Amino acid sequence: MDRQVYDRWGNLVFASTEIPYTWNGKFNQDDVSSGVYVYVVRVKYMFENKSYEELVYSDVTVVK
């Protein structure tokens, strides 16, 4: 699984392929500003011997 977090201008602030997926609210070792961030998760799975890939996305609000 690929995971990314973007700010409201579309800048990538976090990316990971690690499991479990955790983001500490930092970008380049600095706390991000309060606001809404979009996360995207690329999910790959098998069902009835067929391979599927989906993008799941939503938002998270950072409050300080």
Which runs of E-coded beta strand occur in 1-64? 2-6, 12-16, 26-27, 30-31, 35-47, 50-62
Per-residue pLDDT of the chain in tens (64 residues, 90 and over written 9): 689 999 999 999 999 998 888 899 999 999 999 999 999 999 999 999 999 999 999 999 999 8
User: For residue 53, what is the DSSP state?
Assistant: E
Encoded amino acid at 52, one letter: Y
Return the pLDDT at 12. Answer: 96
